[in-house]
A and B are shown apart, each in its own frame.
Chain A
């Protein structure tokens, strides 16, 4: 933890939350009001710190989004329109109040890639969503032949996955795609990016 983050957490009155989390792996329900009222960036810094300590830098990506399972905190939740700031706060709170090494997932089809990328700095460690071609056709795993000559959809999928992987790297994180069968796929870094990785 840098002194800068430590200071932000202290000044926001969140040191006790962090200490309890580290000691017991939980967050006391009484701390919730504190988290709701905390400065968003201090809360984000706390959530990001907990994320780094508990699940590391890896970002698992699911295309298309898998069915909801118990214990995954998936955002945005249905039923209301979120502002980006509200979503970031909820994601950070999920990371801080959820169980140790929780899976905090953001669906970019629900909030846009921009907000999903920013959410990686607020405690999220999974991304999910659909891929589409330029004309809007959805690309799913079943569209991929996997043998012989690559289909146009498969090529589009590879290109889109490369874009997504770059998005994650530009948020200073490590992308891994997880297939429906649970196997993992890494995508090589594109030759040149001008942003921080």
Chain B
């Protein structure tokens, strides 16, 4: 029996996969077979249901004291070319301008700005809640929370409690990059390390704050580092549950310190989604983040283990700065169509995966069927 067959038996028996299993999956040459296995798990957990939400990204400042090699977004200091920090009123206006069709979630990720008072962040959150009291504020990565704790002299719990009082509802999963020190010390040595990132999430989960987790793949890491990363997420979820979704993020090389590296390919994106789904038996959702992998590949990933395609985003700038060719936002109608075309059932969710609206399955237009039939006939003519 080959390794992949042995692993498939474990998956079907509901047994947990090991580090070596994860490595074998990453190294397995047949990505379609991996996808099939991951799809079994995905369908057992979620059936055809595929989630998305109406969210809006805001990056209030790109000034950042960290010097991560993969980042094309950050500017080291205020006043540097391209450096930008929004006044809180400017940030609020982004929501006010969309109140005729408002998002359900605001997702804020910032640089680590050394010159702002902590009250800036509290005011930022409180202002959004004043404009739309039921909006969900998914804000500040664990790296930012760690920075706040060090910079303003608080514990993680104190930072999270103050932000929660101001309006924080959950944490995004960014800043995880690759946990293993062989990689992390080379690509992002001057921000929260793996243990600190995990501790922030441990504390947040303990306080009842739900979070996500990411992995930045496709740069200098090996498959061993990826498996190690995923299993650390799984271990924390065992110990202190609270992760909602795991989001593999493809490295994009433009304009950053690793611009000599090729970007990971679409096959690697599908492989990483599939292996993540198979290893993370205790994290409910795996996202095909369309900004990172393009909407076209994200759509295919919905058959390789992913059950969530993220949200409308509206105005993403971090991946755009790194050369992503994805649009900066998609409408909810476009997301519904992407999911329907994948043969899945679109479910609009809120940040905590409560169902907002279930959309119908796709109905194939007759014209499309006719075109397909003509193509089929052409193939059969050659055949005969």
Residues on A close to B: CB < 8 A?
Answer: 2-5, 8, 26-27, 29, 32, 36, 40-42, 44-45, 48, 71, 73, 77, 79-80, 83-86, 88, 90, 93-94, 97-99, 102, 112-115, 117-118, 120-122, 163, 166-167, 170-172, 193-196
Contacts and interface: CB of A to CB of B under 8 A. Distances in A.
Interface of B: 1-2, 4-5, 8, 26-33, 35-37, 39, 218-223, 262, 264-268, 270-271, 294, 296-297, 299-300, 303-304, 341-343, 371-372, 375-376, 379-380, 382-384
Specify the main secondary structure of chain B where it touches its partner. helix
Given A80-B371, A122-B32, 12 more contacts: A3-B8, A42-B36, A44-B32, A85-B300, A85-B303, A85-B343, A114-B266, A117-B267, A171-B267, A194-B222, A195-B218, A195-B268
A84 B300 contact: yes
Given A40-B303, A80-B371, A117-B267, A71 B382 contact: yes
Contact of A121 (B32, B37, B221, B294): B32
B96 to A, nearest CB: 36
B33 A5 contact: yes
Specify the main secondary structure of chain A where it touches its partner. helix
Contact of B37 (A4, A83, A114): A4
B36 A4 contact: yes
B372 A36 contact: yes
Contacts of A73: 379, 382
A2 B265 contact: no
Contacts, number: 138
A98 B28 CA distance: 28
A98 B379 contact: yes
Contact of A97 (B39, B220, B383): B383
A3 B268 contact: no
B8 A118 contact: no
B30 A41 contact: no
Contact of B33 (A45, A88, A99): A45
B379 A94 contact: yes
Given A3-B5, A97-B379, A195-B265, A112 B29 contact: no
Contacts of B383: 26-27, 29, 97-99
Given A98-B382, A112-B296, A170 B267 contact: yes
A182 B14 CA distance: 52
B30 A2 contact: yes
B32 A48 contact: yes
Contact of B4 (A4, A84, A94, A163): A4
Contacts of B2: 2-3
Contacts of B382: 71, 73, 98-99, 102
A73 B271 CA distance: 27
Contacts of B267: 117-118, 120-121, 170-171, 195
30 contacts: A2-B30, A3-B2, A4-B33, A5-B33, A29-B380, A29-B383, A29-B384, A32-B380, A36-B376, A41-B39, A84-B300, A85-B299, A88-B300, A97-B376, A97-B379, A97-B380, A99-B382, A112-B296, A114-B265, A114-B297, A115-B296, A115-B300, A118-B267, A122-B32, A172-B30, A194-B220, A195-B264, A195-B265, A195-B267, A196-B28
